[in-house]
Chains A and B, each alone.
Chain A
Amino acid sequence: MTASVHPHAPAPVHVHYTTTGLDNRKVAIWAFIGSECMLFASLISTYLIYKGRSRVGPFPHDPWTNPLTGQANQGILDIPVTSASTFVLLMSSLAMVLALAAVQNKHLPKRTQGERILGSSQLWLFMTALLGTTFLGFQAYEFTAFVNEGLTIKTNLFGSTFFTLTGFHGAHVTAGVLWLLTLLAIDRRRSLGPADALNVDICALYWHFVDVVWIAIFTLVYLIK
């Protein structure tokens, strides 16, 4: 159905409804997230299947001896650093949901300073992208430390499955950060409003999914010995 547009009416927005009454972009992102569940399930199950089957170190939790130097080492996983990066990613999800709320409520008047801060979509989009980038920084630090300690993707089964799993997750975070920066650029160019809420919501769903995948990885890979 196409309605006639008055010369002074707001610019039209294309909305694609399905027979379910739901916007097809929203249906598509949930279907995509469903398929991503199965992608990460395959990566997580591969990690868990090969867990504890590496013949040479470094190992994730157990001590090991370097055959070349004879030096004894502890398990390679750095739980304090990963706990910090997990906290950062959880807070990025909070910032994302506040960004979405700010876009949805852009038309509401902001009376207090607190309302102005909570209602700033640019601030929360920026914070989400910043926290996502910080998480990637932690991951780069971790990967570099592992390589320096002798663990590469070719070293053992732990290295192969660990780098594949966390690398795929990091790639998803990178894509999410780029998506967020794109939204931030649009918001700076022309303020995002309630009409754009679905576009921000779709990005938010992707970002939260990346967060829940990390919740699973943090427990299954890092904490369970």
Chain B
Amino acid sequence: MAHEHVPANPAPVAHGAHTAHGAHEHEHPTAWTYIKVGIILTLITVVEVWAYYIRSFVESRAFVPSLLIMSIAKFIIVVAFYMHLKYDHKLFRWLFTGPLAIAVVTIIALLILFGQIGSNLAAS
């Protein structure tokens, strides 16, 4: 790890990447893009809460998967646009998605192990 002294106001460098080393550099989305993303996130949240109050939909088999899909969509939108992972160096993507995959697999494995999901399969 090298320690360098650089001027206080260098040209803006994307997300901690050192351009001299050939790392990725991308333009940030505009403020309007961020606002549009905020509106989309709000709309998805409204649909989620609306779905919660439709009794027939709550009792249907589509309720839980649709809520999970909407939640995952919000998760991906925030991570991709607000956390800039869409535009950032792929090492950061691996640093995040690797542990996230382990976390998701752990949750699913524990839920199966404790019979919260897949109990019908075990019973049959």
Which residues on A are within 8 Å of B, measured CB to CB?
A: 1-3, 5, 9-27, 30-31, 33-35, 37-38, 40-42, 44-45, 48-49, 51, 79, 83, 86-87, 90-91, 93-94, 96-98, 101, 104-105, 107, 118, 193-195, 197-198, 201, 204-205, 208-209, 211-212, 215-216, 218-220, 223-225
Contacts and interface: CB of A to CB of B under 8 A. Distances in A.
Contacts of B31: 98, 101, 118
B21 interface: yes
A185 B21 CA distance: 34
A211 B78 contact: yes
A93 B78 contact: yes
29 contacts: A1-B2, A1-B3, A2-B3, A3-B4, A17-B4, A21-B17, A22-B16, A22-B18, A24-B1, A26-B16, A30-B96, A31-B95, A33-B96, A38-B106, A41-B106, A45-B110, A93-B82, A94-B35, A97-B34, A195-B10, A205-B83, A208-B78, A208-B83, A212-B79, A215-B74, A216-B71, A220-B71, A223-B49, A224-B63
Nearest to A124: B31
A32 B37 CA distance: 25
